[in-house]
Structure 1
Amino acid sequence: MRWLLKLYPRQWRERYEEEMSAVLEEHGISPATIIDLLMGAIDANLNYGGFSEGVMYMANRLRSGMIMVFCAFMLFGVGWGMLQRLNDPMSLFQAANKVHPEFGILHTAVLIVGCLAFVALLAGGLPIFFISVKRAIKTRKRDALVPFWVALSCLLLFILETAILADWHRIAFAEHHLVRFFLSYLTLVAIELIVGTFSVSLTISRTDFQLRELKFMLVPEIVILFGMVVSVVLSTVLIILITAYAPQLFNTQDVGSQMFITGIIFMALGTIFAWMGLRRGAIKGFNQLTQV
């Protein structure tokens, strides 16, 4: 299979061909390896820039791209959460859905696809995060442990605040100042989301990963981006249909059309940033991934 390496540009072969040939002879070639080699050859011919793109450089690109996708999904998730309020109050939404059943279909589809993207984020991101925390603890790397504890604190505070919110009717302040109580909760959650996202990103960015560990995040990233794109398209179609046939759904008990439009904007921006992160990590990295 040495002929596959001839598909790579001359500069790449001068630097990596002998090493790559030795790796292939030692480990053998599987169908997945052939696919990696072919994809790497395409990317190398399109993007290879010379000798600066070593393994460490590509690991940094993959890591930064992964962090971009993670942060982009957090932004997307805020907008996605806003769109879930379309069926509140449920009675009004169900009445409109009887006349236009496509409302319910689209709303459910957005929910399912968004959840699929979230599951992909957990499947790919949690192992990376656990590796990062484990190495930080093992090496006592303070600059990675501190943001981890900050992120964990944000999560615990969110759980505590949500538990309090679930029992709001027993709180005197909430009974007399319901709007201020809910706004305070949303403000705290927004702050914790921002701080927690930033802290997780710092923990990952300050960890030295092996290239083989990072490359397995590429498939979940593709699934995440797919879910985000589909959610944006379906949500946009849903908003257009509601605007045309049931604008009364925008005037629910505490929100209006501005909230849902803002949600679409957040989802779209998150999707764009996720695409940029995936492109940074995947397209530029395939030629180096084949060396691991």
Structure 2
Amino acid sequence: MIRLVRSMVRLYPRAWRERYEDEFVALLEERPASVLVLYDVALGILDAWLSPQVVQERSVALTGSRMRNPVLLVLWAWAGVVAAGVGFQKMTEYADFTRVARESIAVGAAFDAVLVGAFLTLAAVLAGGMPLVVAALREARGSGRKDVPLLLCVPPLSLGVFVGYVLVLTRIVSPLLGDLAVHDPVNVMLFLSIALVFLLAAVASTASVSAAVRRSGVGERLYRFAFYPAALAALAMAVVSIATAVWGLALWWQAPALFTGDDGILATPTAASWLVILAVMGGSTCVAVAGVVRGLRARNVSPRDAV
């Protein structure tokens, strides 16, 4: 088990390892290996990445990292909201749901609020993220670094892989298989494969952008600017989550047969699909709000206090 612990220590940030790795490994070797030790090391890795305490060159670097982490946390939360939003769109695209949205003011207004909130979230993420990406590319070009541009190529490549995979399934595989029942094992596997590829693409894109921004020398001032759109994005995520909750309750009130039926994703119970989507949206929104709260605290920390 000690080999596994040593491997986990390598997951700490480089600056942390350069300063603490030898002492930390020596301390771990003195303790009996156990699952609890692995759990503590895993928590330490997460904390070291989210709240780096190692000042590499000057105290301002720590303040900048404390402003950077909340912004990236909102970015990860947005990826979760997008994943849940895709599921919500897939579930509500059928005629029964669109009919209820037209006939019921509450259902229609809640659905429109979801769309408006999603648009505002996207706009806020782009407003805060694009300046960081441009600055990271500029800094990488000036310093001759190649890793940052390569990392920023991952999102469009991931999108291309996902779109290509969907096209292969819909244009080639699906015609060969013919009409399949909703609960046919092959149909279920194809749907799950699309969902898996989408999630992998989303995670790869978010992780690559986060890594590129972390490795670049973007200044603290730009992170402070990006914090405002990040806060707006968190607020918009809250709007999306609340509107999704209202949509489900209004559907339950206005069309109980549809709400209690099997009209969810892959003909699963509608209520169950709605609750899963709402849970992912709500959890992601809580992560975004936590990032904003951390950002507000970091804004009040001076470089001298950060040491």
TM-score higher than 0.5: yes
Q: What corresponds to 1:219 in structure 2?
A: 228
The answer to which of 113-122 and 135-144 deviates more is 135-144
Q: Which runs of 5+ in 2 are unaligned?
A: 1-57, 181-185
Letter in structure 2 aligned against 1:277: G
Tell whether 2:61 aligns with 1:56. Answer: yes
Deviation per CA, 1:237-263, whole angstroms, max 9, x where unpaired? 221222233233342272432222111
1:132, 1:207 within 8 Å by CA — same for their partners in 2?
A: yes
1:169, 1:175 within 8 Å by CA — same for their partners in 2?
A: no
Output the CA distance in 2 between the equivalents of 1:89 and 1:225: 29
Identity, in percent, stands at 21
CA separation of 1:234 and 1:125: change in aligned 2, threshold 3 A: same
Output the CA distance in 2 between the equivalents of 1:184 and 1:174: 18
Q: What corresponds to 1:282 in structure 2?
A: 296
1:163: Cα distance to partner? 4.1
Tell whether 2:111 aligns with 1:107. Answer: yes
1:139: Cα distance to partner? 2.1
Output the CA distance in 2 between the equivalents of 1:54 and 1:123: 28
CA separation of 1:94 and 1:186: change in aligned 2, threshold 3 A: closer
The answer to which of 264-273 and 54-63 deviates more is 54-63
The count of residues paired between Structure 1 and Structure 2 equals 236
Work out which structure has the larger RCO, using CA pairs closer than 8 Å and 6 or more positions apart in sequence.
1
1:169: Cα distance to partner? 7.9
1:156: Cα distance to partner? 2.3
Output the CA distance in 2 between the equivalents of 1:55 and 1:214: 12
Q: What corresponds to 1:229 in structure 2?
A: 238
Output the CA distance in 1 between the equivalents of 2:154 and 2:86: 24
2:124, 2:232 within 8 Å by CA — same for their partners in 1?
A: yes
1:144, 1:206 within 8 Å by CA — same for their partners in 2?
A: yes
Which structure 2 residues correspond to residues 1-292 of structure 1 after superposition, within 5 A? Answer: 54-90=59-95, 92-97=96-101, 99-164=103-168, 167=171, 171-173=175-177, 177-250=186-259, 251-252=262-263, 254=266, 255-256=268-269, 257-286=271-300, 288=302
1:154: Cα distance to partner? 1.3
CA separation of 1:142 and 1:218: change in aligned 2, threshold 3 A: same
Q: What corresponds to 2:28 in structure 1?
A: none
SS of residue matched to 2:275: helix
2:101, 2:111 within 8 Å by CA — same for their partners in 1?
A: no
2:81, 2:284 within 8 Å by CA — same for their partners in 1?
A: yes
1:165: Cα distance to partner? 5.3
Output the CA distance in 1 between the equivalents of 2:108 and 2:172: 30
Letter in structure 1 aligned against 2:215: R
2:234, 2:289 within 8 Å by CA — same for their partners in 1?
A: yes
Output the CA distance in 1 between the equivalents of 2:82 and 2:199: 12
1:275: Cα distance to partner? 1.2
Output the CA distance in 1 between the equivalents of 2:234 and 2:132: 18
1:269: Cα distance to partner? 1.0
1:106: Cα distance to partner? 0.7
Task: Compute the TM-score of the two structures, normalised by the length of structure 2.
Answer: 0.68
Output the CA distance in 2 between the equivalents of 1:194 and 1:130: 21
Deviation per CA, 1:75-134, whole angstroms, max 9, x where unpaired? 1221222222343312x1244345532111111111111111111111211221222133
Letter in structure 2 aligned against 1:116: L
Task: Compute the TM-score of the two structures, normalised by the length of structure 1.
Answer: 0.71
CA separation of 1:147 and 1:54: change in aligned 2, threshold 3 A: same
The answer to which of 253-262 and 117-126 deviates more is 253-262
Deviation per CA, 1:201-240, whole angstroms, max 9, x where unpaired? 1111111111222121122112101111111112112212
Letter in structure 1 aligned against 2:222: E
Output the CA distance in 2 between the equivalents of 1:258 and 1:168: 32
Q: What corresponds to 1:10 in structure 2?
A: none
